[in-house]
Structure 1
Amino acid sequence: MKFLKLSLAASVALGAFSTASFAQPLEDAIKGIDVSGYLRYRFNSDYYDNGGNNNSNSNNTHRWKAVADFKAPVADNVAFNLGILYNNESNNVNHGNTYPGQGSGLGSGKDGSFGVSTFNAVITPDSTATTVIIGKQRLATPVTNAGDDDRGTGILALNSDLEGFTFAAGAFDSWSIDDVHKGYDLGDNSGTSVTKPLYALAGIYGVDTAYGHFGAQLWGFYIQDAVDALGFGELSWNNATFDIALQYALAKLDNSNSSILGALHPTSNGAGTASIQGVPTNRANISEANDLFVINLGANFAQEYNVPLDVKLGWVTNFQDGTAVTLNDDGTAFKYAGALWWQNNATGISTSALLNRGVAGFGSEQEISVFYGAIGYSMVDSRLRIGLDYVWGNNETKWKGYRNSEDIDFQEITPRISWKHNKNLTISGYYAYLMTDAPNEYYTDPVTGNDRRLEDEDRQRVRVEVKYSF
Structure 2
Amino acid sequence: MKFLKLSLAASVALGAFSTASFAQPLEDAIKGIDVSGYLRYRYNSDYYENKGFAKKDGGDDTNTHRWKAVADFKAPVSDNVAFNFGILYNNESNNVQGVNGGLGSGLGSGKDGSFGVSTFNAVITPDSTATTVIIGKQRLATPVTNAGDDDRGTGILALNSDLEGFTFAAGAFDSWSIDDLALTRGYTTGDNTGGSVAKPLYALAGIYGVDTAYGHFGAQLWGFYIQDAVDALGFGELSWTGSTFNAALQYAIASLDNSDTSILGALHGGPAVGHMKNSNLAEANDLFVINLGADFAQEYNVPLDVKLGWVTNFQDGTAVTLNDDGTAFKYAGAIWWQNDATGISTSALIPGRGVHGFGTEQEVSVFYGAIGYTMVDSRLRIGLDYVWGNNEVTAGNVTLQDTDFQEITPRISWKHNKNLTISGYYAYLMTDAPEGVVYDDETRARARVEVKYSF
Residue 89 of structure 1: CA displacement? 1.1
Q: Deviations over 1:331-378 (max 9, x none)?
A: 010001000000120100000100111125511000000000000001
**What is the one-letter code of the residue matched to 2:368?**
Y
Q: Is the Cα–Cα contact under 8 Å of residues 235 and 247 in structure 1 kept in the other structure?
A: yes
Which residue pairs with 2:161 in the alignment? Answer: 160
Q: Is the Cα–Cα contact under 8 Å of residues 395 and 407 in structure 1 kept in the other structure?
A: yes
CA gap of 1:421–1:61, structure 2 versus 1, over 3 A, is same
**What is the one-letter code of the residue matched to 2:445?**
Q
Give the Cα separation in 1 of the matches to 2:378 and 2:253: 39
CA gap of 1:13–1:240, structure 2 versus 1, over 3 A, is farther
Residue 181 of structure 1: CA displacement? 3.1
Residue 303 of structure 1: CA displacement? 1.0
Is 2:52 the counterpart of 1:42? Answer: no
4+ residue runs over 6 A deviation: 10-15, 281-287
**What is the one-letter code of the residue matched to 1:213?**
H
Give the Cα separation in 1 of the matches to 2:272 and 2:325: 31
Which residue pairs with 1:178 in the alignment? Answer: 179
Which residue pairs with 2:230 in the alignment? Answer: 227
Residue 183 of structure 1: CA displacement? 5.4
Give the Cα separation in 2 of the matches to 1:317 and 1:103: 37
Aligned match for 1:99, one of 94, 97, 101: 101
Q: Is the Cα–Cα contact under 8 Å of residues 287 and 321 in structure 1 kept in the other structure?
A: no
Which residue pairs with 2:19 in the alignment? Answer: 20
Q: Deviations over 1:247-303 (max 9, x none)?
A: 000111111222110122345899xxxxxxxxxx99779971100000101111111
Q: Is the Cα–Cα contact under 8 Å of residues 265 and 284 in structure 1 kept in the other structure?
A: no
CA gap of 1:148–1:294, structure 2 versus 1, over 3 A, is same
Which residue pairs with 2:4 in the alignment? Answer: none
Report the 3-state secondary structure (helix = DSSP H, G, I; strand = E; otherwise coil) of the residue aligned with 2:127.
coil
Report the 3-state secondary structure (helix = DSSP H, G, I; strand = E; otherwise coil) of the residue aligned with 2:264.
helix
Give the Cα separation in 2 of the matches to 1:123 and 1:224: 28
Q: Is the Cα–Cα contact under 8 Å of residues 180 and 186 in structure 1 kept in the other structure?
A: no
CA gap of 1:282–1:238, structure 2 versus 1, over 3 A, is closer
- TM-score for both structures, normalised by structure 1: 0.89
Matched ranges for 1:439-458 at <5 A: 439-442=434-437, 456-458=441-443
Larger deviation, residues 108-117 vs 333-342 = 108-117
Is 2:441 the counterpart of 1:461? Answer: no
Count residues with an aligned counterpart: 440
Give the Cα separation in 1 of the matches to 2:436 and 2:278: 30
Which residue pairs with 1:354 in the alignment? Answer: 349
Report the 3-state secondary structure (helix = DSSP H, G, I; strand = E; otherwise coil) of the residue aligned with 2:197.
coil
Matched ranges for 1:348-387 at <5 A: 348-356=343-351, 357-359=353-355, 361-387=357-383
Report the 3-state secondary structure (helix = DSSP H, G, I; strand = E; otherwise coil) of the residue aligned with 2:243.
coil
Q: Deviations over 1:374-408 (max 9, x none)?
A: 0000110010000000000000000237x433100
CA gap of 1:411–1:75, structure 2 versus 1, over 3 A, is same
**What is the one-letter code of the residue matched to 2:378?**
S
Residue 114 of structure 1: CA displacement? 0.6
Give the Cα separation in 2 of the matches to 1:236 and 1:380: 31
Which residue pairs with 2:138 in the alignment? Answer: 137
Residue 214 of structure 1: CA displacement? 0.3
Residue 111 of structure 1: CA displacement? 2.9
Residue 90 of structure 1: CA displacement? 1.8
Which residue pairs with 1:336 in the alignment? Answer: 331
Residue 225 of structure 1: CA displacement? 0.5
Larger deviation, residues 242-251 vs 189-198 = 189-198
Give the Cα separation in 1 of the matches to 2:291 and 2:272: 40
CA-based RMSD of the aligned residues comes to 2.4
Matched ranges for 1:420-439 at <5 A: 420-439=415-434
Give the Cα separation in 1 of the matches to 2:11 and 2:43: 41
Q: Is the Cα–Cα contact under 8 Å of residues 415 and 431 in structure 1 kept in the other structure?
A: yes
Identical pairs, percent: 80
Q: Is the Cα–Cα contact under 8 Å of residues 410 and 434 in structure 1 kept in the other structure?
A: yes
Is 2:232 the counterpart of 1:247? Answer: no
Q: Is the Cα–Cα contact under 8 Å of residues 287 and 363 in structure 1 kept in the other structure?
A: no
Which residue pairs with 2:259 in the alignment? Answer: 256
Give the Cα separation in 2 of the matches to 1:17 and 1:189: 35
Give the Cα separation in 2 of the matches to 1:70 and 1:14: 31
**What is the one-letter code of the residue matched to 1:202?**
A
**What is the one-letter code of the residue matched to 1:372?**
Y
